Chains A and B, each alone.
Chain A
Amino acid sequence: MKGKYFKRAVALITLGVLTLAMVWYSAQVLLIKRTDGITTMQGLYAQPEDSVDVLLIGSSHAGMNVDLSEMWNEYGISAYSPWGSVQPTWNTYYFLKEALAYQTPEVVVMEMYGSTVSGEYSDDARQVTNVLGMRGSLNKVEAIKTSSPPERWRNMFLLFPVIHGRYSSITRDDFMHFPWTDGLENEKGDSKRYGYGYPELKDASGVTDIMQLYPKTEEYIRKIIELLEERGIPLIMLITPTFTSIEEQPCYNAVQVIADEYGVPFYNMNLMREKAGIDSSDFYFDAGYHLNTKGARKTALFLAEVLKEKFELEDHRGDPKYESWEDNCKNQQKSYLRMVTGVEDYFNELKRMDCAMFVIKNSSWEMSDNYRTLLDSFAQISSNSKEIEASGGGDWLLDGVNQGTLINYYFGDLYSEFDYDGHRFTADFKNGTGISVDGKMLVPLGEPGVICVVYDKESRTCIDAVQFLKDNNFQLERFPVQ
């Protein structure tokens, strides 16, 4: 009899454990991913222990207006940003508390756009994105209770009422997103954007009004400052450039008052555009709410110089423990290259990379202004652009974009193949099949123009394929590279 009860207990416990495991797995699959706030927080957990020297907290103005990979590239600063879109200061506080449980940064930089939030709660989606990435903890419980109205707490705590509706949107990636497979250790919270908003920039230096911050917003700014004081971690407050500077300046003036009260350095880049080098509208993305990568690099360098001046931040380049920052930098660079559509911008990015280019000019044509501009761009990365200009059709390999060495593989019978770095490159005009690498078609041959395949030496893969067609005024067009 006792044996029967024991067996039943074991069976029930086993069933319970298996069921809970499947519920956990289902939650992992259904969890909203690749969204600000959620993956930026999950990525923080994936960072090597005590590796983050600079923690950049705040809203999208933190994550999108500061290019952390540029800080690494130039100074070897290991920075991470667990940002969330339209993140109010209370969520920033709980994110900070969470971060400090896993990292001990040398300095915390708080982007203060969140100080403009006025309202007891964010919109429904942001209430989710600014807490769901956190691990289960008392801190998360407090974050949920602070971020959402009481009638929503149950759904947020149970999780499934919020996420289960994703069942019709799940993809292969959702089944790959586990702490041991998602690769988040190589992401640092920043991202790249290519585009130009060209907003009208306004001078906010004459705005002296001081507005009353929303009470809950101010309460949590003070909590953040006091928490860091308690932990002995210095804080810097920052406003990255925004085209809505005049409207928001009264709010930032109020932030200045708080900063002065606590003795916290506060840099309002809207009032320092020239010094930061962001003095024109072509550093802005979309309608101007955020900076593009050109602008984000500028703010990163500005911030890095401020930090280097004030703190002794170690240069971690070459340190194996910080390999993920190097990987992030390279991955970001490659993905950004594939975003760029402007000819001049494209070649500027190539100059920053260590790659080779496989170039084909498939016909000949008369000189034009646009073609001259393209050749001048080639001239920036190669000393042999004149050969490209002169040729009536052939292929060249520009080895080492920054070195400008040219290897000429001219082909007379419209077919050419050669080996480079262990790969077989083929250009087939004869059968019209196009350019292929190791038998895999990259670029079909088409209209008269110049075709370029970019080969990354570090990853030993082709990372981009573009063409500049005569009939399209030699503007950049891109082929998808798998």
Chain B
Amino acid sequence: MEPEKNFINYALFVSFFPTITSGPIQRGRKLIPQIRERHPVSFSAFQEAVFIFTWGAFIKMVLSDRLGIFVDAVYSGSYTGWVQVAAACAYSVQIYTDFAGYSFMAIAVAKLFGFDLDENFHQPYFAKTIADFWHRWHISLTSWFTEYLYFPLGGNRKGKPRQYLNILIVFLVSGLWHGAAWSFVFWGCLHAVFQIAAHVTRKSRLQLAERFHVNMESAAYRVWQSICIFAITTFVWIFFRAGGFMQAVEFIQRVFAEWNPWVLFDGSLFHIGLDPFEWNICWGSLLLLFIISIAREKGYNVQAVMRQPAVVRVLIWWFLFFSCLILGIYGEGYNASAFIYAGF
């Protein structure tokens, strides 16, 4: 695209308020033409924006922030075994819904002003490989690093060893971009290692699949791949969440300190930040997220909602809105015992 010479347009691009705080990172070739053009807001775009915003608020306030209570309790405690595993998995969902929720809200606000932004998350935990994961997670950051770092370094055009080095450099820089701490660097490094390992072992894995007659196009295999990617990213997220490299190592050590899978069934988790009612809300929200994610994976988007009768649209929006209003994690929390009249 041609350089933007209009300072106002450039300033608006740089300071575009819906995305300036936490993305999605916008590219000039996508946003500046929209700034230059006149694009009145349509009623349908307004409706879509309202739905997208409310969906983003729902997954952030109802699911992400709620799981955060459990995750925070475990990370600040000294639990062992499968409680740690549960917290690690919960964090994977928490960080996704937090970030994706925010991205949806930013995209919706931009849409209210007539700007179309690209999606930033595309069901990342449905990915089949680590590379695929990064094509679905924080898509705007991945494409930025690809275009401004990976390609200038040579990409995959200078042989395998150089390609692997380039991947490592990109992920190390990505780690540093997330935070100036060794844990983030290690987090990036791990992603690079897994991605390189996937490259290196690809041929042997294909041969193995052929030998054991595994249909790699089958739904079962795709589910297996997604489970593996979820497990790998969950493990790596520990370094992201733990607050330090040694804390992450300690967290992982506690996972293996005790073999106690019964804690997932005997109600132990109900005493760690979230009671059964709260867990039910989590599971219900997670189920809804899963269903919506499947629909989006199959190509359905907000227009599918817009095609429904008005009554259905209103009911869907009311469900999301009142879920946020009543079940959202915000405000002061309610402690019934504080209101019991004692010691007046």
Query: Which A residues lie at the B interface, using CB under 8 A?
Result: 8, 11, 15, 19, 22-23, 26, 30, 32, 35-36, 59-60, 85-86, 123-125, 128-129, 155, 160-169, 289-290
Contact call B275/A168, Cβ cutoff below 8 A: yes
Q: Do A125 and B334 touch (CB < 8 A)?
A: no
Which B residues are in CB contact (< 8 Å) with A59? 344
A11 vs B330: C-alpha distance when bound (angstroms): 30
Q: Does B219 contact A (CB under 8 A)?
A: no
**CA gap between A128 and B334 in the complex, in Å:** 11
Shortest Cβ distance from B241 into chain A, in angstroms? Answer: 25
Contact, CB under 8 Å: B330 / A161: yes
Which residue in A23, A85, A128, A162 is a CB contact (below 8 Å) of B341?
A85
Partner of B331, one of A8, A36, A162: A162
- Whether A160 contacts B314 in the complex (CB less than 8 A), given A35-B341, A85-B344, A165-B331, comes out as no
List 6 tightest A-B contacts by C-beta distance, closest first: A161-B331, A165-B334, A85-B344, A125-B338, A60-B344, A168-B277
B: number of interface residues (CB 8 Å): 25
**B328 and A32 form a contact (CB under 8 A):** no
Cβ of B325 under 8 Å from chain A: yes
Q: Which of A35, A86, A163, A165 is the most central at the interface, judged by chain B CB atoms within 10 Å of its CB?
A: A165
Residues of B within 8 A of A161 (CB): 330-332
**Is B310 interfacial (CB 8 A cutoff)?**
yes
Cα-based distance from A451 to B286 in the complex (angstroms)? 56
Residues on A with beta carbons closer than 8 Å to the beta carbon of B275: 168
- CB-based contact A19/B321 at 8 Å: yes
Give per-residue flags for B320-331: 1 if the beta carbon is below 8 A from chain A beta carbons, else 0: 011001111011
- Given contacts A15-B314, A160-B325, A169 and B336 within 8 Å (CB-CB): yes
Chain A residues with Cβ below 8 Å from B331 are 155, 160-162, 164-165
30 contacts between A and B (CB under 8 A): A11-B310, A15-B314, A19-B318, A23-B325, A26-B322, A26-B325, A26-B326, A30-B326, A35-B339, A36-B341, A36-B344, A59-B344, A60-B344, A85-B341, A124-B332, A125-B338, A129-B339, A161-B331, A162-B332, A163-B334, A164-B327, A164-B330, A164-B331, A165-B331, A165-B333, A166-B334, A167-B326, A168-B275, A169-B334, A289-B343
Chain B residues near A30 (CB-CB < 8 A): 326
| B265 contacts chain A at the CB level, 8 A cutoff | no
Bound CA span A32–B338, Å = 12
In Å, the complex CA distance between A15 and B344 comes to 45
Query: Known contacts A15-B314, A169-B334; is A164 also within 8 Å of B325 by CB?
Result: yes
Residues B62-108 near A (CB distance < 8 A):
none
Residues of B bordering A, CB below 8 Å: 43, 275, 277-278, 310, 314, 318, 321-322, 325-328, 330-336, 338-339, 341, 343-344
Chain B residue contacts of A23, Cβ below 8 A: 325
Contact B332 A289 (CB under 8 A): no
Q: Are A60 and B341 in contact (CB under 8 A)?
A: yes
Q: Is the interface of A mostly helix, strand, loop or mixed?
A: helix
Q: Once A and B bind, how many residue pairs between them come within 8 Å at the CB atom?
A: 65
Contact A8 B43 (CB under 8 A): yes
Cα A19 to Cα B321 in complex, Å, equals: 10
A289 touching B322, Cβ below 8 Å: no
Which residues of chain A are near B335, meaning CB under 8 Å?
A: 125
Taking CB as reference atom, which chain B residue is nearest A11? B310
Across the interface, which residues of A come within 8 angstroms of B314, CB to CB? 15
A59 — nearest CB in chain B belongs to which residue?
B344
- Residues from chain A with Cβ under 8 Å of B277 in the complex: 168
A60–B343 Cα distance when bound, in Å, is 10
Are A124 and B338 in contact, CB atoms less than 8 angstroms apart? yes
Tell me the nearest residue of chain A to B336, going by C-beta. A169
17 more A-B contacts (CB under 8 A) besides A60-B341, A166-B336? A15-B314, A26-B325, A30-B326, A123-B338, A124-B332, A125-B339, A128-B339, A155-B331, A161-B330, A162-B332, A163-B334, A164-B328, A164-B334, A165-B331, A165-B332, A165-B333, A168-B278
Interfacial chain A residues near B322, Cβ < 8 Å: 22, 26
What's the nearest-Cβ distance from chain A to residue B323, in Å? Answer: 10
Compute how far the CA of A164 lies from the CA of B336 in the bound complex, rounded to whole angstroms: 12
With a cutoff of 8 Å between Cβ atoms, the chain B residues found around residue A155 in the complex are 331-332
Bound-complex Cα distance A125 to B327 (A): 21
Report the bound CA distance from A155 to B343 in whole Å.
26
Give the residues in chain B near A15, CB-CB below 8 Å. Answer: 314
Q: Judging by beta carbons under 8 Å apart, are B339 and A32 in contact?
A: yes
Chain B residues, CB < 8 A from A129: 339
A182→B310 CA distance, assembly (Å):
36
A67 to B12, CA, bound (A): 68
Chain A residues within 8 Å of B341, by CB: 35-36, 60, 85
Give the distance to chain A from B78, nearest Cβ to Cβ, in Å: 28
A85, A125, A164, A290: the one within 8 Å of B326 (CB):
A164
Residues in A with CB closer than 8 Å to B336 are 166, 169
Nearest Cβ in chain A — how far from B343, in angstroms? Answer: 7
Nearest chain B CB to A286's CB is how many angstroms away? Answer: 9
Q: List B contacts of A124 (CB < 8 A).
A: 332, 338
A86 to B335, CA, bound (A): 18
- Using Cβ atoms and an 8 Å threshold, which residues of chain B touch A160? 325, 331
